[in-house]
Amino acid sequence: MFAQIIVDVPTMQTNQPYTYAIPDKFVAVVEAGMRVVVPFGKGSRQVQGFVVGLQDDYHGEVDLKEITDVVDVAPVLNAEMLELADWVARENFAFKISVLQAMLPNVMRAKYVKTVQLRDPALLETDAMLRDFFTDRFEVPLDDNHVTPEVLTALHKYARLGQVAINYQVGNRAKIKLVTAVKPILSAEKYDEIRQGLRPTAKKQARLLTYLMTASPNWIAQKEIIDATAVDYTTLKKAETNGWIQKGEIEQYRLPKLTSAITATEPLPLTEQQAHVFTTLSENLTDDAKSQTYLLEGVTGSGKTEVYLQAMATVLAQGKTALMLVPEITLTPQMVRRVKSRFGEAVAVLHSALSDGERYDEWRRIERGEARVVVGARSAIFAPLQDIGLIILDEEHDASYKQEENPRYHARDVALWRASYHRATVVLGSATPSLESRAHAQQGQYTLLRLTQRVQTQPLPPVSLVDMRESIKSGSDDLFSNELLEALRQRLARGEQSVLMLNRRGYANYVSCRDCGFTPTCVNCDLALTMHKVTNSLICHYCGYQEPIPKTCPNCGSQRIRPFGAGTQKVEAMLKEYLPTARVLRMDQDTTRKKGATDGMLEAFGNHEADILLGTQMIAKGLDFPDITLVGVLNADTTLALPDYRAAERTFQLLTQVSGRAGRADKPGEVIVQTYNPEHYALRFAQTHDYEGFYQYEMAIRKEWQYSPYYYTIQLKVLHESQTESARVAYEIADWLKPYLDLQTVMLGPSAGSVARLNNKYVYRIVIKYRQSAKLFEALDELMQAGQRLQRQKVTLLIDRDPVNFV
């Protein structure tokens, strides 16, 4: 037998698998989707690889090397995942190995110790070989050198049946958690008989026996028995000695915790609009024959989430599974709670705040079919769910669905692929769909569904734009207009809540000299340094470089070097001055760094422990609190200034999202947006909540300037420590590419990146806008291979398809 293997050798990547011989001892074990260790190159270098296929014969010339070792006893990736990895790699100019690794939880990528855990102790009674292997333990190290092929084959078989599990432990981080457990081993009649024969004083034993009579013959956590019967450890010990029970250990999942208990909720009766959407979705949800994608364009507060939940319930009832993606920052406890309150234990949650151990546990619950609903951020799209009936992308326009490092996949594309594989339904939901998705709906590739009204009869809140240029002329400072302060005062007086958004972080954005205009920049990146008051330092947000805030200007010696712009801490300080009685809760990357901090803060806000929630854009999404009647945007313009053709779209989306936090229940809301560009169309359309108007207007601009969705984009980046070398390679690539571009294809650059230097490397960019891809993609595939050679010369080449970020 022979195996095709994708090996993990940095700088020597290829998407062609290598063929290796499978030694006899592994023939019964090796399957596609397992990881193995193989020799690679000259010498005896051992590397890890993924088995992606098996074959009976080999007719090549060379003598094949043999697989040295198997890492997994059962496949960690199934046939769907292997096929998907091929596709993701091909579509995104990525190497398969990076995709395969991205599909697995972290802990399985790092160095680890492997153990075998006995999940079904009954095995020991039937299999003497296993009894020897486990002796009297429930989890033993799996050291491949000491395991006979027979045992390995047996473990492989039992792993498939779920009777043993292979665990990966990195230090202590991903150790599975075991608790002492008890298993009833006698029949109910027998327990009854023993109980009849007890002395009348043996009350504890009697209680235990009564409990055991009705207990199922499975492992029960010892603590659970003690809680239920109020017996003590001695009683249980005695019961074991008497041969009434068996003692052992069972695994306890580390479930991500929420601060308060979840109460179950029932589906709500749907509004007329919701019901219409749900009925339309149901046609495909109950149809096994085809996959269909729906774009759900629903204003904020229109009850999209309720529709998602009921659609999920529909597929679960058919025995299928459901996957719901949300952007990382909306994966708030509020959202998790809403899903868990409906589906309870069946829900697995995957997001970046989980420890590796928690993530690994959730992954296994999904893989074992114990969790049939997955809620997660971008990478959860690779959750090993089987028989998927429904995939939801909430806030489908969100830029975080695109991974910004290798493999640069877009979760929306992967969702469509998986849905087509499972013939499942896809729902893309947003109040402000991406232009790409909305255009797809226009052309009929997606079915457009709309929710135009809020659930509660409240209309969308009126939005007023405050021109800060006028405001400052009439004496206000550059942070708070009189209009906004007045509105905040009103809310305080009425005991209502306000949300204030500032799209920035730190005390102030940057410092500059008032005399000569000098601004300290990063020594690695040519980017303005961001000021952090707490540490009294200037920090580069790209590379992390830090230096103290200078007291005098390094350029001209002036002492008038001051902060420019404002961060959340500054705004908080100003609020205290203007509104001394207001209780302000500040939510930004600094205050939410600690695990569970966001959860606690939102709960406090929900309990009216604060009047004003002040934060960066992380507060723009998902918050659903009935008493928020005012939303203030302190500076709407920062996103307009991004060097990106999506700047207007991003601004419109952000303003619409944050406006949606106001007036969600019975009290009417109001939104005040402070800006220096009140005429800008993105603000105008946001003011009237006019998504369709914005869509039409922006599409005309995109067409004119040949941007997405009319043209696709590829961005190439070349990075090197020397600027000349970086430029030279970029020009060489551009020249090489030219013959592959057809007449409709436009190549921009090479040009220095808008951030010219990152992490001490000079960036040159080439942007290709195209409509036809066949020839271009062939060329890019070749470039990708060439990138491996360049890497050895310390030149990095990045190929980014449909980039969402042009910095």
Binding-site residues for Zn(2+): 513, 516, 522, 525, 540, 543, 553, 556
Q: What would the x/- binding string for ligand ADP be over residues 453 to 482, using CB under 6 A?
A: --x---------------------------
**Binds 553: which of ligand ADP, Zn ion, none (CB < 5-8 Å by kind):** Zn ion
3-class DSSP state of 15: coil
Structure token pair of residue 92: 């995104």
Concatenated DSSP letters of 249-318: EEEE--PPP-SSPPPP-PPPPPPHHHHHHHHHHHHHHT--S--EEEEEEE-TTS-HHHHHHHHHHHHHHT
Residue 578 sits in the site that holds Zn ion (CB under 5 A): no
Go through the chain and tell me how many residues it has.
807
Which one-letter DSSP state was computed for residue 64?
A: P
**Binds 542: which of Zn ion, ligand ADP, none (CB < 5-8 Å by kind):** Zn ion
**Binds 320: which of Zn ion, ligand ADP, none (CB < 5-8 Å by kind):** none
Least distance from Zn ion to the Cβ atom of residue 520, Å: 10
3-class DSSP state of 753: strand
3-class DSSP state of 52: strand
Number of H helices, E strands in the chain: 25, 33
For residues 158-217, which are near ligand ADP according to CB under 6 A? none
For residues 684-713, which are near Zn ion according to CB under 5 A? none
Residue 556 sits in the site that holds Zn ion (CB under 5 A): yes
Q: Which is nearer to ligand ADP, 302 or 425 (CB)?
A: 302
Stretch that binds ligand ADP, among 297-305, 631-639, 648-656, 733-741 (CB under 6 A): 297-305
Least distance from ligand ADP to the Cβ atom of residue 657, Å: 9
Q: Which is nearer to ligand ADP, 395 or 526 (CB)?
A: 395
Residue 390 sits in the site that holds Zn ion (CB under 5 A): no
Backbone angles phi, psi at 489, to 5 degrees: -60, -45
Concatenated DSSP letters of 593-628: -STTHHHHHHHHHHTTS-SEEEESGGGSSS---TTE
What distance in Å separates the CA atoms of residue 305 and residue 659, rounded to the nearest whole number? Answer: 18
Q: Strand pairing partners for 630?
A: 498, 670
Least distance from ligand ADP to the Cβ atom of residue 671, Å: 15
Task: Give, for 769, the enclosing helix (H) or strand (E).
Answer: strand 761-770
Stretch that binds ligand ADP, among 218-226, 294-302, 471-479, 595-603 (CB under 6 A): 294-302
Residue 303 sits in the site that holds ligand ADP (CB under 6 A): yes
Structure token pair of residue 562: 């001051």
Task: Decide: 795 and 701 in contact? Cβ < 8 Å.
Answer: no
Q: Which is nearer to ligand ADP, 97 or 277 (CB)?
A: 277
Query: Judged by CB under 6 A, which of 13, 92, 167, 302 binds ligand ADP?
Result: 302
Least distance from Zn ion to the Cβ atom of residue 15, Å: 33
Nearest to residue 427, comparing CAs of 392, 399, 397? 392
Residue 552 sits in the site that holds Zn ion (CB under 5 A): no
What distance in Å separates the CA atoms of residue 392 and residue 104, rounded to the nearest whole number? Answer: 21
For residues 610-639, which are near ligand ADP according to CB under 6 A? 624
Query: Judged by CB under 5 A, which of 208, 281, 540, 784 binds Zn ion?
Result: 540
Q: Enumerate the H helices of 77-162 as residue ranges.
A: 79-92, 96-102, 123-126, 128-134, 149-160
Query: Judged by CB under 5 A, which of 346, 525, 571, 686 binds Zn ion?
Result: 525
Nearest to residue 458, comparing CAs of 276, 689, 673? 689
What distance in Å separates the CA atoms of residue 694 and residue 86, rounded to the nearest whole number? Answer: 37
Largest CA distance in the chain: 97
Stretch that binds ligand ADP, among 40-48, 135-143, 267-275, 316-324 (CB under 6 A): 267-275
Question: Within 10 Å of residue 626's Cβ, how many Cβ atoms?
Answer: 14
Query: Judged by CB under 6 A, which of 169, 271, 471, 569 binds ligand ADP?
Result: 271
Q: What would the x/- binding string for ligand ADP be over residues 662 to 681, using CB under 6 A?
A: --x-----------------
Nearest to residue 598, comparing CAs of 610, 582, 586? 586
Residue 301 sits in the site that holds ligand ADP (CB under 6 A): yes
Question: Which residues are CB-neighbours of 577 under 8 A, at least 6 positions away?
Answer: none
| Residues that contact ligand ADP, how many (by CB under 6 A) | 16
Question: Which residues are CB-neighbours of 98 under 8 A, at least 6 positions away?
Answer: 89, 406, 407
Query: Judged by CB under 5 A, which of 524, 638, 706, 754 binds Zn ion?
Result: 524
**Binds 524: which of ligand ADP, Zn ion, none (CB < 5-8 Å by kind):** Zn ion
Residue 268 sits in the site that holds Zn ion (CB under 5 A): no
Residue 274 sits in the site that holds ligand ADP (CB under 6 A): yes
Nearest to residue 342, comparing CAs of 268, 253, 279? 268
Residue 555 sits in the site that holds Zn ion (CB under 5 A): yes
Least distance from Zn ion to the Cβ atom of residue 807, Å: 12
Stretch that binds Zn ion, among 7-15, 148-156, 435-443, 557-565 (CB under 5 A): 557-565
| Residues that contact Zn ion, how many (by CB under 5 A) | 15
- Can you give the binding site for Zn ion, defined by CB under 5 A? 513, 515-516, 518, 522, 524-525, 540, 542-543, 545, 553, 555-556, 558
- Can you give the binding site for ligand ADP, defined by CB under 6 A? 268-271, 274, 298, 300-306, 455, 624, 664
